[in-house]
Chain A
Amino acid sequence: MEFFAWCVMAAGIGMGIGSFGTGIGQGLAIKSAVEGVARNPGASGKILTTMMIGLAMIESLAIYVFVVSMIILFANPFVDTATKLTIAEMVAR
């Protein structure tokens, strides 16, 4: 029974920790991009393009965490084993 509780906790807390790092990383990227455009407004096209690519790369780390959370919640490979073990334990009591 606690297996499922731990699964849900892992998915939720993992996603929170993953978003934390991504937020900081993307904030730093945008900070530099905005400073670059402020210094040199003519180069804003190239700076914007590079910033978009950088943001997508950093975003992908949060996406990996999301994929793992989805796997834990919806495609969990241990669900059958855990259910069997829980039922066996309840029967044994």
Chain B
Amino acid sequence: MTHPFLIFQWLEGQFHSHLGNHVTYAWLVMAILILVSFLASRSIKMVPGAVQNLMEAVVSGIDGLLEDTMGKEGKAYFPLIATFALFILVSNLFALIPGFYPPTANLNTNVALALTVFVMTHIVGLRKHGLAYVKHFMGPILWLSPLIFVIEIIGHIARPLSLSLRLFGNMYGHEVVLMIFIGLVPFLLPVPMMLMGVLIAFIQTFVFTLLAMIYMAGALEEAH
């Protein structure tokens, strides 16, 4: 299943560096995000201009969501969560631009993001509770602890698996369906799929970010 012509991949092919599609386009996402942030914060005014207004709306939306889910101590994790949200949103929206390839349609990007969330959950829990973090895995009844420990371990390993596979499946499936539709009837048939692609991009960003926040809030709360 070959992909059609990708602009930046062709550019990168000129340098003969043999990087994958997703690496080049992840760099493009990073460049766009850095550029927009730089433009928005260049001259901050009390009555905001266009770019600053947009970025303020996005940032305060994520901030409100974070406060709802994680409470006061969640504010410290705002940069990480906002980076996830913005990176995944822009990557997903790349799927709709012809000649661009969404880096989240490749399993490697998604596993990297999911493993970051996984490691961060445990670091956060260990930092807050110290070694008593193991109590999170024990469960309420003491003599059932070994069994519940195993079940909790399996549940914890299922988290990065499900996070990465959910995002990968949605984006890759969207690409596959678009390729098939373009092969069938290129005239107007892909348009409803692209509309659904916009919806799916936003929903998947929201779900990933929300789940990351819920996992971290679960590590921060008191064990019973």
Interface positions of A (Cβ within 8 A of B): 52-53, 55-57, 59-60, 63-64, 66-67, 70, 74
Dominant SS at the B interface? helix
Q: How far is the CA of A59 from the CA of B170 in the complex (A)?
A: 9
B9 within 8 A of A: no
> Please, how many residues of chain B have a CB less than 8 angstroms from a CB on the other chain?
15
Q: Which residues of A contact B170 (CB under 8 A)?
A: 59, 63
Interface positions of B (Cβ within 8 A of A): 1, 162, 165-166, 168-170, 172-173, 176, 203-204, 206-207, 210
Contact in complex: A56, B169 (CB < 8 Å): no
Contact in complex: B166, A63 (CB < 8 Å): yes
Q: What distance in Å separates the Cβ of A53 from its nearest Cβ neighbour in chain B?
A: 6
Dominant SS at the A interface? helix
Contact in complex: A63, B165 (CB < 8 Å): yes
Q: How far is the CA of A17 from the CA of B1 in the complex (A)?
A: 25
Q: How far is the CA of A57 from the CA of B166 in the complex (A)?
A: 9
Going nearest first, the 5 A-B pairs with the smallest beta carbon separation are A63-B169, A60-B166, A56-B207, A67-B169, A66-B169
Q: Which residues of A contact B1 (CB under 8 A)?
A: 74
